[in-house]
Amino acid sequence: MDQSSEEKIMEIVNNSYSKVAKKLLTDTSNCCEPSVSCCSPEVEGSTVQELSIISVNNIPTLGCNTNLIEVAKISTGEKVLDLGSGPGKDTFAASILVGEKGSVIGVDFSDDMLTLANKYRDDNKITNVEFRKGNLTELPVENNSIDVIITNCVINLVPDKTKVFEEAFRVLKSGGRLIDSDISIINPLKADLINNEQLYCACIGGAVTEDDYVRNMKEVGFENIEVRRQYTTSFTIGEEAVPYASSYFIAFKP
């Protein structure tokens, strides 16, 4: 894909999620419109739901899996980065686990998502979270500064995934880990569905297979990569049912 097509897709994705954020800012009912985001089936008993901080439970998620924080095994004092933080549910859950000695940075490129996330942060008086505006292909984060990167249903939305993995690798400390919850396609998409805006913003049009995902991570230097499939389902567009999976990709910087 050439650079102008990539920029066009990122603008469409930004507009789509800005609309979701504006709706959430004005609407008190939780969650999003499934047609334009990656809302997932509810998973019972996730660590986030069990956390006694009610404020985090009330923050909507647009992610594909709801137990990311449990899988990430975040410890006190760690420095966490949430890529495509959206409303910030995982960011805030991580902030509880790292405690006062740790900190969490959320990065998102949508001004409206940042407004929403900052509102939740301020309303809940959370002091160890900072949201930064930025594109995942050019992270506003220093080299070798992060212990754990978390990301929930975002990398599929970025056309240049290699660049995102290169940036993740750059900012992680040696020994640091990437815990990526994301959608992957089961079969390559048919030509007429590639770059379909609705499918792209629904987190499927830009998704790759699990094998391609892992190959991409390896190519930039990640090691000990593990894939944990969570569920397989399909998305119906017109007459077409597009099968896809939701998985965790866990990878380490040597």
Separation between Cα atoms, residue 233 and residue 246, nearest integer Å: 8
* C-alpha closest to that of 183 among 82, 37, 69: 37
Smallest gap from Cβ 201 to ligand SAM, in A, equals 9
Cβ-based nearer residue to ligand SAM, 90 or 100: 90
Nearest to 116 by CA among 97, 91, 140, 81: 91
CB-wise, 34 or 77, nearer to ligand SAM? Answer: 34
The yes or no reply on residue 246 touching ligand SAM (CB under 6 A) is no
Segment lying near ligand SAM (by CB under 6 A), choices 82-90, 171-179, 205-213, 226-234: 82-90
Stretch near ligand SAM under the rule CB under 6 A, chosen from 81-89, 167-175, 214-222, 232-240: 81-89
Each residue 153-182 as x (binds ligand SAM by CB under 6 A) or -, in order, gives xx--xx------------------------
Answer for the pair 169, 139: CB distance below 8 angstroms, yes or no: no
Distance of alpha carbon 205 from alpha carbon 220, whole angstroms: 23
Stretch of 97-105, 151-159, 185-193, 236-244 contacting ligand SAM, by CB under 6 A: 151-159
Per CB under 6 A, 114 contacts ligand SAM:
no
Q: Hey, what are 92's tokens?
A: 């805030």
Residue 28, φ and ψ in degrees, nearest 5: -90, -10
Q: Are 30 and 42 in contact (CB under 8 A)?
A: no
Q: How far is the CB of 158 from ligand SAM (least distance, A)?
A: 4
Look at residues 175, 181, 167, 106 and name the one whose alpha carbon lies nearest to residue 147.
175
Q: Judged by CB, which is closer to ligand SAM: 190, or 228?
A: 228
Residues 32-50: b if buried by 16+ CB within 10 A, e if exposed: beeebbbbbeeeeebbbee
40 binds ligand SAM (CB under 6 A): no
Q: Three-state DSSP class for 80?
A: strand
Check residue 86 for interaction with ligand SAM (CB under 6 A): yes
Task: Note the residues at the interface with ligand SAM (CB under 6 A).
Answer: 10, 13, 17, 37-38, 61-63, 84-87, 89-90, 108-110, 113, 135-136, 152-154, 157-158
